[in-house]
Structure 1
């Protein structure tokens, strides 16, 4: 979703043109101006599934011959730029993929109300806009926590490992000690990219409220004191443990470009644990066929605290229908969303081809990625917390707040200063 922040070239993939060819239309055609056909532009922000997206568009058109789709794919993390670029060029994008926070921030006036759509009966993950209406179709579910190498951990404890047994910080420390005693010098490989330490790890405190937006609003009003908040402090107490010289491979120099090395280390079993999401499997599997899973990030030593027993999971990419599209185009967009949920080929595309964790309980397919399986099982078991990144402006957290968090990790900034930096940022939000 968001892992590669460098700019990429936009790849335009025109999957089909009208049978009569010719016009290279932009997707603005009304339903009755081309022999009853409707032309729509659909934007995919997940560049790694570009070819699968192209095939899905073809399969959808085969089932809906009155709809012509121009499917456009961009690189991971570049959805917003791609949508802006197409809009600036004069195209009306009917269906756009974006991050969930976009519909309450940059694109708050973009989408139509999808609350009445049938698929809401089959998911709890529809994303609401500022008015409380469902405007975002949950395309993919992702989650994050402490990724662990199963074989390394089970060797260390001498048996089968239940990741949910690590439901206090002290139990996590005891596990790290056991791993170390088994011959693994540094149990943790903690990489410190801005998106990881900021809009993923450091937003988890928002989940202490039933609705994370509650705390966001309190922060904006200057009415939430981070420095005295036990949960906020608890997550940094746990981070202190994870990045420490005692357990972290990079503890002597905690800041650096360690993403690839961390995955190699955990993939090979030279380390056992890193903080990341299910998207990390592509990097892990490149070096190892081992099994991997998730340990919840413990925030304190109360084993009954729900925060210690669940994994952050939720929609990380949503599809939104453009209110500026024609009524016919909007209806075609709705048909595509229903196709993803209820058509056998749509279901297959979502899970088996795109390897996306479905948000819909009626989808019979399961991803094969073991980290995806772990997230899917957590979803089914009700062991998930909200995907806290969805409640912040991820670009701001990555660009404005991450440097302070990185300074804290490097022990060049106090926790009190970090609290002040986050509070100051929110007081300037309107």
Structure 2
């Protein structure tokens, strides 16, 4: 995607969320509204497809698709995007080959790039009334369904910290750089030599970690767009950007305690969560989407995991030090170019079913472990990470900003971030690479 579209968050998106699945029994699955939505317009025997770029919910989505087919006769083929594959690249390739999916789970960046040319206008759909605060808009129109709210920060294992320190731990006490540094020093002194896990994946480094610089400019969508536009124009330089200096300062601290310090680029993502579960480490930069990985490593929903802010200074009044980033990330678009009228209607009915059917609402949280984006879903998140985000949202301890960047941003600059954590690129070189990337955008 070549063009960056700056959106003011007010009136566009003020919260975030995640979503899920369905049932076999039309009489007992609840929502009369959900049943009507599923029945209206869709023809039994219609087949539609969905491209899934959120790999950790693949099995949950397949369960949802099976439940929906049992209820309506509409078959949904859930196709997984390849690991590490850009959703934008995958989707545009499918369009070019004439095999575009009926629905696509993509990032907001992709919605901004493809909405007008590829996506069905969903502004008139019933569910929009339940998702006013989480639906993205392009020129005032809704082209995608907000599947979920996701947040990122420093995941912590409370029990691992308390066992090592031999005292209680209050996560609210970590509200500054020095507070984080002091915690890491105490953990090392207590026998946990390397209490931090830094994963090497380009999407983690180039999108989520580096993204902290844009998102914390002032915590708003408009603020992140202002910084990005200034970088594009060359009127701002990353090396002299205050947030970049703070970000690299904190990243350097985390790297000094990285369990993967001996070979940062040799880290294995599947192994990273085991360090937390086995209490060999206590902190892992990631998002709530990492819960399935922790669960596979042996974590239980009763365990005490949560998020610490990615602290950026010693100013305890700075929102970045007391709040965490959370926003409606994954979005579902419906194709308008290659799908038939029956397929488009079936996809629309499916989305309304997700929003209004009681069992579908439940499946989103239980099968997919998502934080619902629509306000009418009464179900609480089922895993510790998502529960912590929901609690922070209710307490006003989240900021809602998700910067908009070209589809190759995370991969291009993720490579430079990998060089940085491997000490093969200096702070100045990283800043120069970021400047070069943005000034090349038109």
- TM-score normalised per structure 1: 0.81
Task: Indicate the residue corresponding to 2:355 in structure 1.
Answer: 341
| Structure 1: tracts of 5 or more residues without a match | 1-33
DSSP 3-state at the match of 2:78: strand
Superposition CA RMSD, Å: 2.8
Higher relative contact order (CA 8 A, sep 6+): 2
Task: Indicate the residue corresponding to 2:264 in structure 1.
Answer: 254
| 1:127 is the counterpart of 2:167 | no
- Per-residue deviation at 1:344? 0.7
Distance in 2 between residues matched to 1:85 and 1:263, nearest whole Å? 33
Distance in 2 between residues matched to 1:356 and 1:366, nearest whole Å? 9
The more displaced of 140-149 and 35-44 is 35-44
Indicate if the aligned counterparts of 2:56 and 2:289 stay in contact, CA closer than 8 A. Answer: no
Indicate if the aligned counterparts of 2:42 and 2:342 stay in contact, CA closer than 8 A. Answer: no
Task: Indicate the residue corresponding to 1:357 in structure 2.
Answer: 371
Indicate if the aligned counterparts of 1:314 and 1:386 stay in contact, CA closer than 8 A. Answer: yes
Distance in 1 between residues matched to 2:79 and 2:213, nearest whole Å? 34
Cα gap change, 1:254 to 1:36, in 2 (>3 Å): closer
Task: Indicate the residue corresponding to 2:196 in structure 1.
Answer: 188
- Per-residue deviation at 1:62? 5.7
Indicate if the aligned counterparts of 2:43 and 2:342 stay in contact, CA closer than 8 A. Answer: no
Indicate if the aligned counterparts of 1:102 and 1:108 stay in contact, CA closer than 8 A. Answer: no
Show CA shifts across 1:402-422 (max 9, x none).
Answer: 222222223332222211111
Task: Indicate the residue corresponding to 1:240 in structure 2.
Answer: 252
- Per-residue deviation at 1:220? 1.9
Task: Indicate the residue corresponding to 1:220 in structure 2.
Answer: 232
Question: 1:26-425, aligned counterparts within 5 Å?
Answer: 39=46, 41-45=48-52, 46-61=54-69, 64=72, 68-75=74-81, 77=83, 79-80=87-88, 83=91, 87=95, 90-91=98-99, 93-105=101-113, 109-123=117-131, 124-129=133-138, 131-207=139-215, 208-209=217-218, 210-211=220-221, 212-244=224-256, 247-285=257-295, 286-289=297-300, 290-324=303-337, 325-327=339-341, 329-386=343-400, 388=402, 391-398=404-411, 400-425=412-437
- Per-residue deviation at 1:162? 3.4
Distance in 1 between residues matched to 2:330 and 2:136, nearest whole Å? 10
Task: Indicate the residue corresponding to 1:3 in structure 2.
Answer: none
Distance in 2 between residues matched to 1:36 and 1:70, nearest whole Å? 13
| Structure 2: tracts of 5 or more residues without a match | 1-40
Show CA shifts across 1:77-96 (max 9, x none).
Answer: 55556645654564564322
Cα gap change, 1:76 to 1:309, in 2 (>3 Å): farther
Indicate if the aligned counterparts of 1:43 and 1:83 stay in contact, CA closer than 8 A. Answer: no
- Per-residue deviation at 1:425? 0.7
- Per-residue deviation at 1:53? 3.0
Cα gap change, 1:178 to 1:382, in 2 (>3 Å): same
Distance in 1 between residues matched to 2:82 and 2:170, nearest whole Å? 33
Indicate if the aligned counterparts of 2:146 and 2:373 stay in contact, CA closer than 8 A. Answer: yes
DSSP 3-state at the match of 1:239: helix
Cα gap change, 1:128 to 1:249, in 2 (>3 Å): same
- TM-score normalised per structure 2: 0.79
- Per-residue deviation at 1:248? 2.3
Cα gap change, 1:356 to 1:194, in 2 (>3 Å): same
Show CA shifts across 1:201-247 (max 9, x none).
Answer: 01111121422223222222222221111112111110010001xx2
Aligned residues, how many? 390
Cα gap change, 1:49 to 1:403, in 2 (>3 Å): closer
Distance in 2 between residues matched to 1:221 and 1:276, nearest whole Å? 31
Cα gap change, 1:250 to 1:118, in 2 (>3 Å): same
Show CA shifts across 1:9-63 (max 9, x none).
Answer: xxxxxxxxxxxxxxxxxxxxxxxxx996683513040455445434433544565
DSSP 3-state at the match of 1:155: helix
DSSP 3-state at the match of 2:117: coil
Distance in 2 between residues matched to 1:272 and 1:184, nearest whole Å? 9
